Structure 1
Amino acid sequence: MNNAAHTSAVVPAPARPAPDRPAPDHSALRQAALAHLARFGTTRHGLEQVLLRRVARWQRQAIAAGAEPDQTDAATRQLGPVIAAVVAEMVAAGAVDDSAFARSRVRRLARSGRSGRAIAAHLAARGVEAQVSAEALAGGADDDFATPPGIGVAPLSAGERDLCAALVLTRKRRLGPFSPVAEGADHAPDHAQDYDTAHDADTAAPAALARGRALGVLARAGFGRDTAERALDMDAEEAQEWLERLKSAP
């Protein structure tokens, strides 16, 4: 017998069975929740979404490995109460706290120049209940637009925080007290006040146009007209005081 001919025949290997991919159980989902919370702050709704995505990923992998879609659908439905139980455990342990999340996010977003309206929309998108969001946005004082006290002595009211956030945005966009014109005015020579009436008339229209554009920027960001006008009319020194207070406020 020709050994070469004999060995040339290749016997196909038997097909490997689809790997077993059991659905994530309570322990697996709890570990997934802890791993996420170790890296990110979130809400009850946010954690539920994380675990639902974990289950959806298992389902896609199981189907790709040969599982029947009807079976994975049934398993996924059975995991709904398990997810709810894991989330409840995280809340009971203090690892998930919607109120603390909302307060933290309000401070962070205001310091980035987001208006109260924009922050409320952000919290709603993350599943924070309206009452919890409103309490976080309410601030710690009742007097809107007070004169800035010593830095860091009191929480900001909702109106004060919105004013500070508007100032953050004006600084980013170089508007109002942070515009090149305003900054240059601090160093203008004394004879600048002797400019004639014709020069003032020539510059009035561009100034009005620039103000209108600045108001538009603040309006599109969600700031009210009163807040926007106060921010734009403020001098640089007072604006900086408010920004320092925002930085130090609890």
Structure 2
Amino acid sequence: MSEKEAETPGKRTRPGPRKVTPKYLENAALFYLQRFATSAANLRRVLMRKVERSARFHGTDPAEGAQWVDALIARFVASQLLDDALYAESRAQSLRRRGASGRTIALSLRQKGVEGEIIDTAMAAADEAEEKPELAAAARLARKRRLGPWRAAEGRREARERDLAALARAGFSYDVALAVIDAEGPADLEGEGSL
């Protein structure tokens, strides 16, 4: 018993990570996929963290664990449990509906390990429903955050620069932000997609 454990009587110590086996990795991957949609590269990162923790704690071979993870990912891709194109398209559409800019969506997908070609295809699919998808997404975000035309009329002029900055930080171009923030009212933007 360490000194720290002796100082805090009654406090249970947390057990270390489980030893990684092929079956454990498969169960962990399936449990993760039940809760989250993900890309193959992101699932690989999640599983490799488990392998690395097991290697540090139990002294297992991380190279062997990496082989198990690669075989598991290949099997899941072959059986279509993992489909980067489907994941990217669904994620892009979801983010677009929430008012995310094209830059934000592409960055989010890149961070999850989705390849550039797949991102481009997913963005095209997400944007085909609207004539001006960036403007429609910016209008959705402005409505959600009560910026520009959705702000009370008396405080609108004073908040103009802050509203423009909020849309710029969200990844929208200056022209798109200006079109949304300087619109007379929400009715002027209603034709820009389903707001």
User: What's the TM-score, normalizing by structure 2?
Assistant: 0.78
Match of 2:113 among 127, 140, 153: 127
- CA deviations 1:3-54 (Å, max 9, x no partner) are xxxxxxxxxxxxxxxxxx9953323222221111111111011110121122
Q: Could you tell me how far 1:113 is from its partner in structure 2?
A: 2.3
Helix, strand or coil: the match of 1:139? Answer: helix
Name the SS of the counterpart of 2:50 in structure 1: helix
Distance 1:42 1:140 in 2: 18
For residue 180 of structure 2, what is the amino acid of its counterpart?
A
Alignment match of 1:216 (pick from 158, 165, 169): 165
Task: Tell me if the contact between 1:139 and 1:156 (Cα under 8 Å) persists in the aligned partners.
Answer: no
1:76 aligns to 2:62 (yes or no): yes
The aligned amino acid for 1:239 is L
Q: Trace 1:1-250 onto structure 2 (pairs within 5 A).
A: 23-62=19-58, 69=59, 72=60, 75-139=61-125, 155-156=129-130, 160-181=132-153, 207=157, 210-234=159-183, 235-240=185-190, 242=192, 245=194
Using the alignment, how far apart are the partners of 1:172 and 1:38 within structure 2? 30
What amino acid is the match of 2:181? L
Q: Contact 2:92–2:126 (CA<8 Å) still a contact in 1?
A: no
CA contact (8 A) 1:177 1:239 kept: no
Q: Distance in 2 between matches of 1:27 and 1:228?
A: 51
Report the structure number with the largest CA radius of gyration: 1
How many pairs are equivalent?
A: 178
Where 1:41 maps in the other structure, the secondary structure is coil
Long gaps (5+) in structure 1: 1-20, 63-68, 142-153, 185-202
Alpha-carbon distance, 1:213 to partner: 2.9
* Offset of residue 229 of structure 1: 2.2
Partners of 1:22 and 1:236 lie apart in 2 by 55
Cα RMSD for the two superposed structures: 2.7
Where 2:165 maps in the other structure, the secondary structure is helix
For 1:23 and 1:58, the matched residues in 2 are separated by: 5
Structure 1 CA distance for aligned equivalents of residues 71 and 64 of structure 2: 12
CA–CA distance in structure 2, aligned partners of residues 140 and 50 of structure 1: 27
Identity %: 36
Q: Structure 2: which 5+ residue stretches go unaligned?
A: 1-16
Query: Are 1:171 and 1:178, in contact at CA under 8 Å, matched by a contact in 2?
Result: yes
Contact kept? 1:175, 1:214, Cα under 8 Å = yes
Q: CA deviation at 1:241?
A: 5.0
